[in-house]
């Protein structure tokens, strides 16, 4: 092979090698680009899913908050209705006390006897508002007789104006002040509210299943 032919053969071989290198580099570049695109797509999918989870979580929180607010408003409404029952009861009790009829007189006597039954001793002080004191003093002999039978001994009473404003009823105390029994109408209504609130609630909103 002549020198010219040898140069030509070497040049042809070099061109083929260059073409292979370029083709190989092109393939490698396409592979790198494809991998980069795949990673970018995977990242976008992860980010999209993460954002969706955040949105779902936020939506659940907002829904739960909304439900809690609605539940709170409903409970408040029911509580107000329940309270209105006892407010109406207080109004009616006040009206009965204001009328001071025979039924209320007997009620006051009953409150006194209930008080002395719960206390020791035989000397007591009855405190009531000015209206009820008139009734109590008018019935005092009857009260003493009935109280003495309960205690099996002579019972003595003093009467005094109650120190706080009250719808009616009374407070019975031992003469020495060591014990007392609060039978003011407000105290009885408060006790009834605690004992009956659940039952009233059920009657109002669930029906009386008792």
**Which DSSP string do the residues of 61-82 spell out, in sequence order?**
HHHHHHHHHHHHHHHHHHHHHH
Cα separation of 184 and 190, whole Å? 10
124-154 residue pLDDT tens: 999 999 999 999 999 999 999 999 999 999 9
pLDDT confidence bin for 53, thresholds 50/70/90: confident
Give residue for tokens 């979580």: 57
Q: What is the DSSP letter of 160?
A: E
Query: What is the architecture of the domain spanning 100-205?
Result: 2-Layer Sandwich (3.30)
Percent of the chain with pLDDT over 70: 51
Residue 8: pLDDT over 80 = no
> If you average pLDDT over each of 42-51, 171-180, 195-204, which comes out highest?
171-180
pLDDT at residue 98 greater than cutoff 90? no
């Amino acid at each position: 092979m002549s020198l010219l032919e040898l140069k030509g053969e070497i040049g042809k071989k070099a061109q083929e090698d260059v073409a292979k290198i370029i083709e190989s580099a092109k393939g490698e570049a396409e592979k790198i680009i494809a991998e980069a695109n795949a990673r970018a797509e995977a990242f976008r999918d992860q980010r999209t899913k993460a954002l969706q989870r955040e949105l779902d979580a936020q939506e659940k929180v907002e829904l739960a908050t909304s439900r809690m607010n609605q539940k709170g408003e409903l409970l408040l409404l029911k509580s107000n209705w329940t309270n209105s029952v006892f407010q109406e009861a207080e109004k009616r009790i006040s009206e009965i006390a204001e009328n001071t009829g025979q039924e209320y007189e007997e009620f006051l006597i009953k409150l006194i006897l209930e008080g002395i039954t719960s206390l020791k001793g035989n000397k007591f002080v009855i405190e009531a508002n000015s209206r009820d004191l008139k009734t109590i003093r008018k019935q005092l002999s009857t009260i003493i007789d009935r109280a003495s039978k309960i205690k099996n001994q002579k019972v003595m009473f003093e009467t005094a104006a109650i120190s706080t404003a009250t719808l009616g009823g009374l407070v019975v105390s031992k003469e020495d002040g060591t014990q007392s029994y609060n039978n003011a109408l407000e105290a009885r209504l408060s006790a009834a509210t605690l004992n009956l609130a659940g039952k009233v609630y059920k009657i109002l909103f669930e029906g009386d299943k008792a």
